[in-house]
Structure 1
Amino acid sequence: MSTDKSWKSFVAGATAGAIEGFVTYPFEFAKTRLQLIDKSSTTSRNPISLIYRIVKNDGVAAIYTGCIPAVMGNTAKAGVRFLGFDAIKDLLRDENGHLTKTRGAVAGLGAGVLESVLALTPSESIKTAFIDDRQRAQPRYNQGFVRGLSRMIADNGVGVFYRGLVPVTLRQASNQFVRLGSYNALKSLIQENRSDPTKPLTGTETFALGMVVGVITVYATMPVDTVKTRMQSIDARSHYKNTVDCFVKVAKHEGVLALWKGSTARLGRLVLSGGIVFTIYEKMMLLLN
């Protein structure tokens, strides 16, 4: 992959990630809060009701708790994701430049691992800790992002940045295996059945395709996402030995369906996210070229 193409993939992906991260953050906030609610709680499981109640009681800013690290992470992860995806795709093409659908999915998996290790785990860990802390009777990290983060590091050490690395990497690898693999396969299918296969998809087609891919991704990967959130909660060490133990305990004590807790909120975010991020990425690549 040429240096010229590399920076274009990174810039296009990072731009798409920044816009998508900010626009869809309230859904991410609601999903994370719902995943942190235990079975005995009487709090509403409806994400819209949750957002409405928090805005009513604490103001609009409350549903953007943890937004700064999340958007920063989203910007970096999307840049790394598309850079990695394009680079791995180029490595997996045959001598004729053709990429099979299976190899496209494998490229997505590799991109997911890269974005998790290099960008996402630190931002997700901090975001989850901020949201978890806010619902405590006496929050410790609510003095603003910089002071709150400093106190978090003082309490937990720098290891807090990579809390939940295994479940985050599992989630991102599975996410991008499904998401980028599905997008690549469906996009190729649409273009192959056109009179001019080289013609780019329109903005409307790309947005619709991204939304469809978002639905597929949510239900295929939700259990891993739920375990990831539990493993990044402030009290995770006292509740779970490791990722497998978390899977088992959630399914055993709360029921298997608890692994899909927060699906509606995540669906709202990823459907919108898929439409936004793929459309902006494709348009940015056209612009940069």
Structure 2
Amino acid sequence: MVFAKEKPLHSLIAGTTAGAVEAFITYPTEFVKTRSQFEGKKLAPLEIVRETLRTKGVIGLYSGCTALVLGNTTKAGVRFVSYDHFKSMLADAEGKVSAPRSLVAGLGAGMMEAIFAVTPSETIKTKLIDDANRPNPQYRGLMHGTATIVRREGLAGIYRGLFPVMMRQGANSAVRFTTYSTLKQFVQGTARPGQTLPSTITFGIGAIAGLVTVYTTMPLDVIKTRMQSLSARSQYRNSFDCAYRIFTEEGVRRFWTGTTPRLARLVMSGGIVFTVYENVMNMLKAVES
């Protein structure tokens, strides 16, 4: 695969824009997925939606949304800047990046976003969703919730579950970028050689990349959610203990709990993120030229 070196500022602007748009549009699916992964009574996605609408209204489906939007904006910026940087480092003298090297670049990008953006934002989001589902919620919103978590648990409180998040994000980005880049290169090399792909095709390729990503990384997502819940400190010694207990006490199928809403989100997410990113990058290049 041959890639043109992207300017970091362009990647940052396009990535943060794509992340913000995608997070807001798809948040209800993230809410349902997170609720379904908590320990306790297992509810179907539609049951969670109906219960939330009945007790909290539409706004209930956006509990913890601000944390995810801010985190997703930062995450997407870090992801695309890191991926473009690692990609340029791994390219050969002709600017070509093989699929294995693209996989490594994606893995590196996922690790960077996990450390700098995803873990803090998702820990806070998960705790806010868990808290909102309790009879007497203790957090009054993003700022109050974050301040309370840090005051009680220190910075470690918002970095709960760092290891499974790094594993999940590394796998997510590696699989998603490699699938997307490979399919994009294939389409451009066969059906539309030398042409810019229309948004519909870009969306479709991104959606397929999201589909592949969901099924390969779902167990890591379940472990991540459990490790970031309000009761994690008293239940699990570490991520490996969490995984062992889920496997022995709840069965292997529990690792794919929340697949339907996460699938809905990542299929839409893949399409939205890559479509917005490509369009913003093309706009920035046009403005500059």
**Using the alignment, how far apart are the partners of 2:192 and 2:166 within structure 1?**
40
How many Å separate the matches in 2 of 1:144 and 1:112? Answer: 28
Q: Deviations over 1:64-102 (max 9, x none)?
A: 110111100000000010011111111111111111111
Q: Which runs of 4+ in 1 moved over 4 A?
A: 1-4
CA contact (8 A) 2:83 2:106 kept: yes
Distance in 2 (alpha carbons) for counterparts of 1:144 and 1:167:
26
Contact 1:108 1:177 in 2 (8 A): yes
Q: Indicate conservation of the 8 Å contact 1:240/1:246, yes or no.
A: yes
* Residue identity in the other structure for 1:184: S
Q: Does structure 1 residue 166 correspond to structure 2 residue 168?
A: no
TM-score by length of structure 1 reads 0.94
1:281 paired residue among 272, 277, 282: 277
2:14 is matched with which residue?
A: 12
Deviation of the 1:266 alpha carbon: 0.2
1:2–1:279 Cα change, 3 Å: closer
Q: Does 1:244 align with 2:240?
A: yes
Structure 2 residue ranges without an equivalent (≥5)? none
- Maintained 8 Å contact 2:29/2:262: yes
Describe how 1:90-101 pairs up with structure 2 within 5 A.
90-101=88-99
Map Cα deviations across residues 29-63 of structure 1 (whole Å, 9 max, x no partner): 0000000132xx2x52x212211221122111111
Q: Give the whole-Å Cα distance in 2 for the aligned partners of 1:155 and 1:9.
A: 37
Partner of 1:69: 67
State the AA in 2 paired with 1:227: I
Corresponding residue number in structure 1 for 2:220: 224
Matching residue's letter, 1:281 = Y
Q: How many Å apart are 1:144 and its aligned residue?
A: 2.5
* Identity score, percent: 46
1:86-123: CA deviation from partner (whole Å, max 9, x where unpaired): 11111111111111111111111110001001111100
Partners of 1:10 and 1:79 within 8 A in 2:
yes
Whichever residue aligns with residue 32 of structure 1, its letter is T
CA distance in 2, matches of 1:240, 1:21: 29
Note if contact 2:5-2:84 (Cα within 8 Å) is conserved in structure 1: no
Q: Check conservation: 2:124, 2:145, Cα contact below 8 A.
A: no
Separation in structure 2 between the aligned mates of residue 122 and residue 195 of structure 1, nearest angstrom = 41
- Residues 35-184 of structure 1 aligned to structure 2 (within 5 Å): 35-38=37-40, 41=41, 43-44=42-43, 46-141=44-139, 143-184=140-181
Structure 1: gaps (5+ residues): none
Q: Report how far residue 195 of structure 1 moved.
A: 5.6
Letter in 2 for 1:20: E
Q: Given residue 33 of structure 2, which amino acid in structure 1 is its aligned partner?
A: K
| CA RMSD across the alignment | 1.6
Give a deviation string over 1:119-176, Cα, whole Å, max 9, x none. 11100010001111112232211x2222232222222222212111101000000111
* Counterpart amino acid of residue 22 in structure 2: E
Q: 1:91 to 1:56 in 2, by over 3 A?
A: same
Q: What is the aligned length?
A: 283
Q: 1:183 to 1:120 in 2, by over 3 A?
A: same
